[in-house]
Amino acid sequence: MVSANVSGDLSSEMEVDAFRRLFPLRYHERFLLDSIRPDARPLGRARDTSLALGAVASADGSALAKIGCTTMLAAVKMEVMTPPKESPDEGSIAIEFYMPPICSPLVRPGRPAEEAPVVSKQLSDTILSSGMINLKELSLVSGKAAWMAYLDIYCLDADGSLFDAALLAAVAAFSHLQIPVVSLNEDGRVVVVSEENEEGKSEKEPVNKGKRKLTLSSLPFSLTCILHKNYILADPTAEEESIMETLVTVVLDSSGQLVSLYKPGGPVLAYASAVQDCIALTRQRVKELKSILNEAISDMEVD
C-alpha cells in the first residue's frame, strides 16, 4: 500500500515536471490565477537577499550580493591616473560586467554573453547619473593626478534580475571601499603608499594621510518587474524572464527619487498605471535593500 502511494506520488511529480517543460507559460499561468508563483512567492515579493562586504581581500572594496540564486561578486581597484584636460579636478570610474560560462548553461565558452555589455552600459549610466559618487572627491592634485576606480562585477549565477543584483553588489562594494594612502615621491609624482611603508618612508607629506571612505549620496537601488497580461511579477527568475518577455526595471535613489526607467521591448505595453505600480513596488524594495546594506556595513564594522 505504501509503495503504491510512493509510486503514485513519483508519477504525479513526473507529470507535473513534464507539463512544466512542455508548456511553461501555461504552467506559470495556473499559479498566477491564485496570485502566487511556483516558488510560493506572492507576485510583488522579491526573493531572499543577502550581502557580504569584503569578499575579495586584494581589492580596495568588494561585496558579494545574492538575490535568490542570482549571485554577483563586485570588486573595486583604485589606480592613480592623469585626469583629462576637460575635467582636471575629477577622477573617473570604469565599470565592466562579466558573465563567465559557469553562471548559466546559456553562456558558452569562447562566446561573450549578449547580456554582458548591455548590463555594463546600464550600470555605468545608472551609477554616474544617480550622483552617488562625486567625481571631484577622486581628485588628488588638480590637473596632475586623480583616482581611476575600476569596478569589475562577475556574475556567478544568473537566475534572473541580473541588473538588480549587479547594482546592489556595486553599491555595496563602493560602500566598503577604502581609498589607499598616496604620497609625492622625489620626482613629484603621486604614488600609492603600501601598508608596510605607510610610516616614514616618504620624505614628502602624504596627499591623503590615511585610508578614507568615499562620501556616497543618493544610493541607487533597482527592481525589475515582469508585465504579463494584467499581472506584475517582481524580481523574476531566469525561467520567468524566458517565457514572459516584457521587463521593466525601475531605479530609485535612497530618497525615493526616480533615477531611470528601463523597458527593453516586449509585447506588453507599459501603461501609466502599470509603471506606477512598478514604481510603488520599487519604493518598498528600496527600503528593504537599504536595511540589508546598513546591516552588512554594521556587521563589517563589528568585525
Q: How confident is the model at residue 15 (pLDDT cuts 50, 70, 90)?
A: confident
Lowest mean pLDDT among 78-82, 89-93, 188-192, 266-270: 188-192
CA distance 22 to 24: 6
Q: What average pLDDT does the structure give for the chain? A: 87
pLDDT digits (tens, 9 = 90+) for 57-68: 999 999 999 999
Q: Which candidate, 193, 203, 189, 166, places its Cα nearest to that of 78?
A: 193
Q: How confident is the model at residue 3 (pLDDT cuts 50, 70, 90)?
A: very low
Helix or strand (DSSP H, E) at 15: helix 2-22
Residue 185 pLDDT:
63
- Output Rg (C-alpha) for the chain, integer angstroms: 23
Q: How confident is the model at residue 2 (pLDDT cuts 50, 70, 90)?
A: very low
Virtual torsion, Cα 115, 121, 127, 129, nearest 10 deg = -140
CA distance 55 to 184: 31
Lowest mean pLDDT among 127-131, 132-136, 189-193, 282-286: 189-193
Look at the pTM and tell me if it is higher than 0.75: yes
For residue 102, the 8-state DSSP code is G
* pLDDT(157) > 60: yes
pLDDT digits (tens, 9 = 90+) for 244-295: 878 999 999 999 999 999 988 777 777 888 899 999 999 999 999 999 999 9
Residue with the larger pLDDT of the pair 300 and 149: 149
Query: Average pLDDT for residues 8-18, to the nearest whole number?
Result: 67
CA distance 284 to 273: 17
pLDDT digits (tens, 9 = 90+) for 159-216: 999 999 999 999 999 999 998 888 766 555 666 666 545 444 444 555 555 678 889 9
Q: How confident is the model at residue 16 (pLDDT cuts 50, 70, 90)?
A: confident
